[in-house]
Amino acid sequence: MLRKTQLFLFLLLFTSLFFICCSKTSHETGFYFWKTVFQLDTVENRSLEEIKAQSIYVRIMDIDFDPSGVQAVPISPITFTQTVPKELQVIPVVFVNQRIFTEMDSLQIRGLANKIVPFIVAKIKQAGKENFKELQLDCDWTKTSRDKFFYLLNYLQQLPALKDILVSSTLRLHQVKNIVTSGVPPVRKVMLMCYNMGNLRQFGPQNSIINQKDLKTYLSGTLHKYPIETDIALPLFQWFVVFRNNNYIGISKHISEEEIKDASLFTHNPNTNLYILTKDLPKANLKKDDIIRFESVNQEDLLQTAKFLKGELKGKEHRIIFYHLDQATLANHSNAELQKIIAAF
């Protein structure tokens, strides 16, 4: 009798473990590629392989005003100096500056759409691909630009050239929380950008790239109710936010992490991410006493974010995409760390 009981308990435990393992949701993975020249080095190729990336979201161009401020035109389109690895699905991304919609009517929006599509098709062929399955539009729309951006999304999906193409949109955290005023984009899939969630321009020691307080303020109790299939984009980048006389003046691309930790250049405000410049730094167009807020993303931030999102998404399948594929960015995040983040979902 005892042996039968032990056998029953063993079979029960085995069955439970089997169902737990089999019910674990698998997620597609990939990277954004946000540079103007497509050429992968050894580090970038290795990261794609080790996280088993299936997709690469390639920024094709920005759409913004020309210098006259009248016409919407392509800005800094990408050039492919090598083809995209054959095992990767290329998803072209077009960043649309929402300000263009202030000057556009429906006829002009349709004209823009009809220019975007052949441009993308040509770039996809440059990438060594015959076709693509998804087109993503990246736009931080507001209440005033929402209807025109949604019109663009709708019109693109009616074009014969995109008949079998999924048109998707990016989604910011505030657009999830403020769904009544932000609206829901007329697409079947969105990419939730889980970064740039704080006030970049506000002086202080906060991290505007990612923080758990803002993440939960925007998404707790709201994300699981969002009515569209949702993929997740996570940040890997860091940046240097510059303040002069406590006023925001921009993000510097001319400072390195090594320099900001150089005591001969900067004084570190203890227990914060603020650094005070001790002398003029002409190469970066910075002046003595400018304050730099060094913002970065660590492994614990990403693991906490993954665990929180897993709870909110309640086991739904979604892509996990890292921003972005770049050797310098990847230097701060090992492939083993990225695998742990994916596993946390």
Nearest to 96 by CA among 84, 107, 109: 109
Identify the CATH assignment for 28-238+296-344 out of 3.20.20.80, 3.30.920.30, 3.90.550.10, 3.40.50.740. Answer: 3.20.20.80
CA-based max dimension of the chain? 88
User: Angle formed by the axes of helices 42-50 and 335-344, to 10°?
Assistant: 30
Residue 321: the pLDDT is: 98
Cα separation, 175 vs 155, whole angstroms:
22
pTM for the whole thing? 0.91
Distance between CA atoms of residues 101 and 65, nearest Å: 10
At 69 the pLDDT is 82
Residue ranges covered by each domain of the chain: 28-238+296-344, 239-295
pLDDT digits (tens, 9 = 90+) for 200-214: 999 999 999 999 999
The confidence score (pLDDT) of residue 23 equals 43
Residues in the chain: 345
Residue 277 CB: number of other CB atoms within 10 A?
21
* Cβ–Cβ under 8 Å, residues 216 and 308: yes
Long-range contacts of 219-227 (CB under 8 A, 24+ apart): 219/173, 219/176, 219/177, 219/308, 219/309, 219/312, 220/312, 222/176, 222/177, 222/179, 223/176, 223/192, 223/309, 223/312, 223/313, 224/312, 224/313, 224/314, 226/176, 226/179, 226/184, 226/190, 227/184
Write phi, then psi, for 68 (nearest 5 degrees): -75, -15
Encode burial over 62-94: b for 16+ CB neighbours within 10 A, e otherwise: ebbbeeeeeebbeeeebebeeebeeebbbbbbb
Residues of the chain with pLDDT under 50: 8-23
